[in-house]
């Protein structure tokens, strides 16, 4: 079944409390090389059948209107992934 992958990230200018807490904790475990962490969300939308441009457009719409909160989040990617 092909899947449409939607990735949502907090807008760059918006505070990401989770990412902030994680980046502060990493050095405690010896991971010193990471200066910033931002945590986003990934959605897998499974499609029964072929992904047409129409369906992809639907996914983009769903991503913009429902899967993300446009006030604080950006949809950074909507792509098709074939799982064979």
Partner 1 sequence: MSEDFTPGVSAEFNIDTVENASTTPDTELPWAELGLKSDEYDRIVQILGRRPTAAELAMYSVMWSEHCSYKSSKVHLRQFGEKVTEEMKKDLMVGIGENAGVTDLGDGWAVTFKIESHNHPSYVEPYQGAATGIGGIVRDIISMGARPVGVMDPLRFGAIDHPDTQRVLPGVVSGIGGYGNSLGLPNVGGEVVFDEVYQQNPLVNALAVGVMRHEDIRLANASGVGNKVVLFGARTGGDGIGGASVLASESFDSSKPSKRPAVQVGDPFSEKVLIECCLELFGDELVEGIQDLGAAGISCATSELASNGEGGMHVELTDVLLRDPTLTPGEILMSESQERMMAVVTPENQERFEQVMAKWGVEYSWLGEVTDTGRLIIEWDGETIVDVDPRTVAHDGPVYERPYRRPSWQDDLQADSFRASEAGKDLPATAEELGNAVVDLMTSPNMADVSWITDQYDRFVGGNTALSQPDDSGVIRVDEETGLGVALATDCNARYAYLDPYTGAQLALAEAYRNVSTTGAVPVAVSDCLNFGSPEDPEIMWQFAEAVRGLADGCQELGIPVTGGNVSLYNQTAGRAIHPTPVVGVMGTFDDVGRRTPSGYERWADGQAIYLLGTTGDELDGSEFARGRGHLGGTPPQVDLATEKTLGEILINASRDGMIDAAHDLSEGGLAAGLAEMSLRFGVGARVALDGVCERDGVDAFSALFSESQSRAIVALPRSEEIRFTDMTSARGFAAIRVGVVDVQSGELEVAGPFEGGSFTLPLDELKEAWSSVIPSRFGTSASVAEQQ
Partner 2 sequence: MTETPLIGDFRAEADAPLDGARIGVVTFPGTLDDRDAARAVRLGGGTPVSLWHADASLHGVDAVVLPGGFSYGDYLRAGAISRFAPVMETLIKEAGAAASSGPLPVLGICNGFQVLTEAHLLPGSMIKNDHLKFVCKDQALRVENNSTAWTSQFTDDEIISVPLKNQDGQYVADEETLKALEAEGRVVFRYLGGNPNGSRNDIAGVTNEAGNVVGLMPHPEHAVEAGYGPDDSTGMRSGTDGLTLFTSVISSLAGGSK
Between 41 and 61, name the residue whose CB sits nearer to partner 2.
Answer: 41
Half-sphere exposure of 31 (CA within 13 A, CB side): 10
The option from partner 1, partner 2, none interacting with 35 (CB < 5 to 8 A, set by class) reads partner 1
Q: Select from 33, 26, 16 the least CA-distant residue to 72.
A: 16
Q: What are the residues facing 10 on neighbouring strands?
A: 73
Q: Which does 14 bind (CB under 5 to 8 A by kind): partner 2, partner 1, none?
A: partner 1
Contacts with partner 2, residue ranges (CB under 8 A): 17-18, 21-22, 25, 28-29, 39
């Amino acid at each position: 079944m092909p899947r449409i992958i939607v990735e949502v990230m907090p807008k760059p200018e918006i505070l990401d409390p989770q990412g902030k807490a994680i980046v502060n904790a990493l050095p405690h475990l010896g991971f010193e090389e990471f200066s910033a962490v931002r945590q986003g969300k990934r959605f897998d939308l499974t499609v029964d059948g072929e992904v047409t441009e129409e369906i992809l457009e639907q996914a983009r719409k769903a991503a913009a209107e429902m899967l993300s909160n446009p006030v604080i989040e950006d949809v950074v990617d909507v792509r098709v992934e074939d799982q064979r």
